[in-house]
Chains A and B, each alone.
Chain A
C-alpha cells in the first residue's frame, strides 16, 4: 500500500521562521528550537513538534538559534544587536551579550563552555560562558557580514560563512587556515560530525566539502534556488528546500532526486534532520515549521502506521480523529504534562 507523506505543521510563530536547530539526544528525548522574525524563539519537543515554551526578551527579529547538546541551554542571535543565552529548562534569560551590529549566528561547543557568535559587524566572537563579564575573543578577517559560524573538528576549528566566502579557522591560534570563494551568495552551512562533512548551499547548488580541509567532495544542482540543506547522519539521503516552496530529498551517493514535497506556502529558509535521522524539520517564510518523516509510513512520534490487517480486531482502539474533536486523543508524554491530555486547558497563574 503506497503511503503519502503527512507533514506535521507546528504553528505559533507570526512571522517567517529563519533558522532552526535540534539538540542532541537526551534522556528526555530531543528538542528543537526555532528562530523567527517575530523576535520570539520557541522550544519544541523534537519528535512531536509540541510547543514547550517561548524565550521572551529579544527586542528584534531573531536570526539564529541553537541548543546545546543536552538541551539545557539555548542561545539566540538577534537584530537587537544582542546574542542571548537561556536556560532551556526554565525559559529564563541567563546572559545578554552586547554586540555592535545585528547578530546572525550562534553555536555552543560540545561541552557548552563557549559560545561562538557572528553577525553584521563581520567579527567572530568567542564567549567563555563561565566568565560572562570577560571580554570575548574576537576574530576578524571577514569582509562582509557573517551569516553562519560553527564549531567543527571537535571544537578545534571554527567554520564561518559570509556572503561569498567560507573560512576555516584554527581556534587555538585564531588564524585562518583555509578559505573558499563562491560565485553566488552562500545561503547555508551545515556541519556533519560523523564523517567531518560540510553541506554548503549557494544558488541552486548543494555542495559537500571536507570539514577538515574544505576540499570539495561532490555537489548537486536543484531545480530552484536552495536556501538550506541537511545530510542524514548515515549519509544515505539529504534534504533541501528553497525558493520554490518545495522540499527535495536526494540520494547522497547518486544525487538522484527521490521525493519532493509541496506543503509550505512560502520559501523554505531552513531544514535539518533530527539527531536520530527519523524526521526532518523545515522552517518557512509562511511562519510555520513542518516535520516530515524520513521513512514515510513508519510509526514514529505522532505518525502511526496502519496496516490493513489491523482493521479487524482493533475497533475498540482510540480512533484517529480530527484534531477539532477532542475526544479520545492519545497522549504522548511531553514536556508540559505527563497526564492524559484534557480538552479544557487549565488556566495557569
Chain B
C-alpha cells in the first residue's frame, strides 16, 4: 500500500457526502518547500532567470575615470569596514556603555558579536532592574555605545 504522509496539523471540516463518509486522506506532497540556505542571500546567478540579469560591467566605452572612482570607493569601504571590525576586537572583555531607546543607559562587559552584527553577547549587564550575568543585546535596540581603549 502506498504510504501517504500527513504534514502539519491542519484539520479540514468534513464535506457532506452522499455515500458512507470515508476517513479523509491527506493530500500527498512530493516534498516540503525549500527554505533559505542559511549562508547566502540567494538569487542564484545560474538560476532560471539568469538571462534577465543586467549585462556584466565590461561594456564597451565605459569611461576609465568612473572605474577608478568605483575602486577608490570600494577601497575606502574596505578600509572603514576593517577599522570597524578591529574596533569590535578591541572591545572584547572591556566595559562598554550602551545607550538604548527611551533614554536607557546600561553597561556591560563586551564578549562577542555575531556574523551580521545583529546581536552583542555581553556579560555582567548592569540594568536598572539588576545585574544580568550574561545577555544578548539586539543591535537594532542600541543607539550608540562607547568604551575606553
Which residues of A are interface residues toward B (Cβ below 8 A)?
A: 1-12, 28, 39, 42-44, 48-56, 59-60, 72, 87, 89-91, 259-263, 290-291, 293, 296-297, 302-306, 310-311, 314, 319-323, 329-330, 332-338, 345, 347-348
Q: How far is the CA of A87 from the CA of B13 in the complex (A)?
A: 42
Is B147's CB within 8 Å of the partner chain A?
A: no
Report Cα–Cα, A322/B13, bound state, in Å.
Answer: 25
CB closest chain-A residue, reference B15: A2
Contacts of B40 in A (CB 8 A): 348
Give the contacting residue for B28; candidates A44, A51, A304; CB below 8 A.
A304
**Docked CA distance A219–B115 (Å):** 50
Check if A302 sits within 8 Å of B31, measured CB to CB: yes
The reply to whether B8 and A259 form a contact with Cβ atoms under 8 Å apart is no
Are A72 and B5 in contact (CB-based, < 8 A)?
Answer: no
Question: In the complex, A72 Cα to B26 Cα: how many Å?
Answer: 36
Residue in B closest to A71 when the chains form the complex, CB atoms: B49
- Find out whether the CB atom of A345 lies under 8 angstroms from the CB atom of B43: no
Whether B14 contacts A44 by the Cβ 8 Å rule is: no
Q: How far is the CB of A83 from chain B (nearest CB, A)?
A: 19
> Which of B7, B25, B37, B39 is A3 in contact with, Cβ under 8 Å?
B25
Contact with A along B1-34 (1 / 0, CB 8 A): 1111111111111110100011111111111111
Q: In the complex, which of the residues A5, A55, A56 contacts B27, with contact meaning CB atoms closer than 8 Å?
A: A5
Contact A5 B36 (CB under 8 A): no
Known interface pairs A262-B11, A323-B32; A4-B25 also in contact (CB < 8 Å): yes
Q: Once bound together, how far apart are the Cα atoms of A293 and B28, in whole Å? A: 12
Q: Using CB atoms, name the residue of chain A closest to B37.
A: A345
- Chain A residues contacting B4 (CB-CB under 8 Å) are 306, 320
- B: contact size bracket: 35 or more
Sort A-B residue pairs by CB-CB distance and give the 9 closest, nearest first.
A53-B42, A49-B33, A91-B43, A53-B43, A4-B24, A263-B10, A2-B24, A6-B27, A336-B44
Q: Which B-chain residue is minimally distant from A59 (CB atoms)?
A: B140
In the bound assembly, the distance between CA atoms of A48 and B35 in angstroms comes to: 11
A7 to B33, Cβ gap below 8 A? no
On whether the beta carbons of A319 and B3 are closer than 8 Å, the reply is yes
A2 touches B21 (CB 8 A): yes
Evaluate contact between A336 and B140: CB separation under 8 angstroms: no
Cα(A291)–Cα(B31), bound, Å:
13
Q: Are B33 and A53 in contact (CB under 8 A)?
A: no
